[in-house]
Structure 1
Amino acid sequence: AIIATLLGAGAIVAGATSKTRGLAGAGMGVAAGGGEMAQRSILAYQRTEEMTADRSAITYLNATGQSGLGMLKTFGRFQSALSLSGAQVDPYRISHPLPRERIANLEVLVKKSPYVDKVDPPALQQRHDMMRIKIAAYMGGQAAASRLMRKMPGSLASQYGAAQTSYLFGDLAGALAKTNALIKAQPKNPYFQELRGDILMKANRPKAAAEAYAKAVSLDPARSGLLSVSYGQALMAIGTPDSLEKAVVQINKGLGRDRENAVGYRHLAQAYGELGNIPAADLATAEGHFYSGAYKDAKIFAMRAQMKMKRGEPGWIRAQDIINYAPSGKKK
């Protein structure tokens, strides 16, 4: 591509010098064509990587004893949607393979798998359904969640979706009643306790919310960082010095497991600020900006934090890391 651009530029200059329009035009074509070739080469590489990822997915499904038929069905839906849209797609100018190509790439592997007809365990399917309904409620709204709930009437996932939509769209009393029923059905489910905490926070009952989040944290086998941050946020809302100290501990625990939670750092900065620990508040603010991609603001707060810290202590070193950070391809 670079050679083509240089040759094209040379032809343009030669054409301009000799007042030969054809040569100049040809030079422009060569230069543009070089860029087009480079772009197509990159896109071809990306498509190959996607195909490799698809095949790896089948390898992982076989390793866990699961069927890959779901992938074929998903790509089949993509193909149907593409066909119905009537869009004309240039297969050489896209970053992902066309759905029909992905199906062809996987069909033989899926069908020769010993697990092709294996049905997922009910507990795994239930978790999956609850996840889908929660995503639908948050991303697609009440109508999207309702469409999914109609496909699984009476299920625990459907009840979870009903509680989520009640919470998100203003019926806090109804949401709390539905969530309490879910907890009665599955008392050891940490995410039902999380939802209870969310509802109570929205109802301005931080002490009860903190108790629900604490229960969620204690029940969570995955030790999710988000749950600890939510617990810390509820403790902050209680507002006593003791609860603020506990909030700092919980939020730091959560961030230790989820380093890139920018919102968590903002809560941590607020807690440190209310406790009067301004250097730590400035450093947490810097971290929040850093993980949000606002590197200039991150450096400003990191420098402010350093000015009030002892040189060489852990916080000072982390602030220096932020100050020294240069995004790829840019100078500090």
Structure 2
Amino acid sequence: MRFSRALRFPRSFLSPLAAVAPAARDAVAGVTCLALVLAPVAAQAQSGERTQVVRDAEIEKLLMDYSTPVLKAAGIRVSAVKVILIQNPTFNAFVANGQKIFVNTGALIESRSPNEIIGVLAHESGHIAGGHLARLHQQIANAKILSVVGMLAGAGALAGSAGGRVGQGGVGAGGVLAGSQELVRRNLLSYQRSEEQAADQAAVRYLTATGQSAKGLLDTMKRMDDNSLFRTSGLDPYVLSHPLPKERMAALEQLAKKSPAYDAKDSAALVARHELMRAKLSGFTERPETVMRRYPPSDRSVAARYARAIMAYRTARSSQAVTLMDELLREQPKNPYFWEMKGQALLESGRAREAIAPLRQAVALTPSSALIRAMLGRAMVASGDPGVVDQAIRELSNATQREPELADAFRDLSTAYARKGDIGMAELAASQYYFARGEWDQAATQATRAKAKLKPNSPAWLRADDILAYQPERPPGK
């Protein structure tokens, strides 16, 4: 498992609310703080707060296995959708940037069954299939118009109200403006509530079509209702972006129980994978005492031992972590992620040469994983063995071709090329490293250096030229 450096979300990840003119944005501020689907990214991006993205081959594969049948039932091209894991302890998921589904680590850790997460993913797929984000952009555009109308009405009221004095037959401009802004806000919130209900209904259809129960989605709604974050007693339902949890549960329950798949159960194999995912996230993201409460030494399940092995690795007890992983590998020698975890524990405790063999085994068992190939390449580079430099370049090149956003893999690739004496390719890889991080000026500097050393019009030279030709979107005023 890898945690990104603290990254700011690019502008394309922002809520459409970020594009609203200041007066209109003030009028719909309630949407930003209440919207489940968009607020987490929007609030963090607009405030400048940095958010960590978690990358893990095992968890990403499981989430895509959960999503694929649902996406197909929704008529969505599977390859166009990406599920992204956010380090956040709250139970939440949302859609942003069209076809990206964001899931909080807290949702996965707290989920009690695969069906709960599948239900959440089905709901988010409903937003994608329904084009809700695209239509929200239009609603925001409408909000701009309404806001301008409100401001004009306020100006008119000011002109015709005896200097704006209230109580002398005139209407205060502030009252008109406030009223128009409240109308804008309620219109947008009403729109979002209807979209949430539509996504719920779509989720049940997709789950039924794939022979899966909607009970997990109902359980999630119940949890939301029990959670103080979603307690809504005394609140005006018209200033909420989502239907009240009890209302959603009633509507969902009626629809879900009509499905012939309502009593369907998750397979034992899927439950086992789900428990390993929860254990892995707990081991990597929670405090040691929390991990031990969840997985005490008396618990001899595979998931519990996995969590304790990861916790040992995190607390600088790498030898114990490796011993525990060897025990698990004796039981499941074909599990690529157990081999990966052993390799990571060795690599990050300074035993890079020893890490190569288990990571090679992991790659052999799951050759399509760019993340594991990148880790193998890193181990080869870190080993300092000149005999594996060419192999490191092959693995890292394979990984970055599959996933060009793997910045650290480009950094390792640059090191490998430099050790081989190929400075042009080393500078190109360094340029791609900075480009993947969004550091455009440094990327351009390295690309310029690379072009001077690479053969003109060669594939590598053209890649450097493409980087130089790229025009990044700059924040306003810069």
Same fold (TM over 0.5): yes
Q: Distance in 1 between matches of 2:197 and 2:432?
A: 36
Matching of residues 267-282 of structure 1 within 5 Å: 267-282=412-427
Which of the two has higher C-alpha Rg?
1
Residue 206 of structure 1 aligns with which residue?
352
Does the aligned pair in 1 maintain the 2:230–2:245 contact within 8 Å? no
Change (3 A) 1:97 1:18: closer
Given candidates 144, 159, 169, the residue that maps to 2:315 is 169
Q: Distance in 2 between matches of 1:88 and 1:219?
A: 55
For structure 2, list consecutive stretches of 5 or more residues without a partner in the other structure: 1-143
Deviating more after overlay: 66-75 vs 143-152 = 143-152
Q: Distance in 2 between matches of 1:83 and 1:326?
A: 38
Given candidates 20, 25, 47, the residue that maps to 2:163 is 20
Does the aligned pair in 2 maintain the 1:9–1:28 contact within 8 Å? no
Q: Distance in 1 between matches of 2:198 and 2:456?
A: 48
Does the aligned pair in 2 maintain the 1:5–1:31 contact within 8 Å? no
1:197 equivalent in alignment to 2:343: yes
Does the aligned pair in 2 maintain the 1:8–1:28 contact within 8 Å? no
Amino acid at match of 1:298: A
Residue 107 of structure 2 aligns with which residue?
none
Change (3 A) 1:284 1:83: closer
Change (3 A) 1:187 1:3: closer
Change (3 A) 1:31 1:167: same
Change (3 A) 1:10 1:276: farther
Given candidates 447, 461, 464, the residue that maps to 1:302 is 447
State the TM-score, normalized to the length of structure 2: 0.60
Deviating more after overlay: 199-208 vs 270-279 = 270-279
Secondary structure (helix, strand or coil) at the match of 2:295 reads helix
Deviating more after overlay: 290-299 vs 145-154 = 145-154
Deviating more after overlay: 307-316 vs 17-26 = 17-26
Amino acid at match of 1:2: I
Residue 106 of structure 1 aligns with which residue?
252
Matching of residues 66-105 of structure 1 within 5 Å: 66-82=212-228, 91-93=237-239, 95-105=241-251
For structure 1, list consecutive stretches of 5 or more residues without a partner in the other structure: none
1:291 equivalent in alignment to 2:432: no
Query: Which has the larger share of helix?
Result: 1
Secondary structure (helix, strand or coil) at the match of 1:259 reads coil
Higher RCO structure (Cα 8 Å, ≥6 apart): 2
Residue 241 of structure 1 aligns with which residue?
386
Q: RMSD across aligned C-alpha pairs, in angstroms?
A: 3.5
**Deviation for aligned residue 1:188:** 0.2
Change (3 A) 1:17 1:73: closer
Q: Distance in 2 between matches of 1:217 and 1:142?
A: 30
Amino acid at match of 2:397: N
Deviating more after overlay: 175-184 vs 301-310 = 301-310
**Deviation for aligned residue 1:252:** 1.7
The Cα offsets for residues 107-151 of structure 1, whole Å up to 9 and x where unpaired, read as: 233222222222211111010001011112222232343343359
Q: How many residues align?
A: 331
Does the aligned pair in 2 maintain the 1:282–1:301 contact within 8 Å? yes
Deviating more after overlay: 195-204 vs 74-83 = 74-83
1:2 equivalent in alignment to 2:148: no
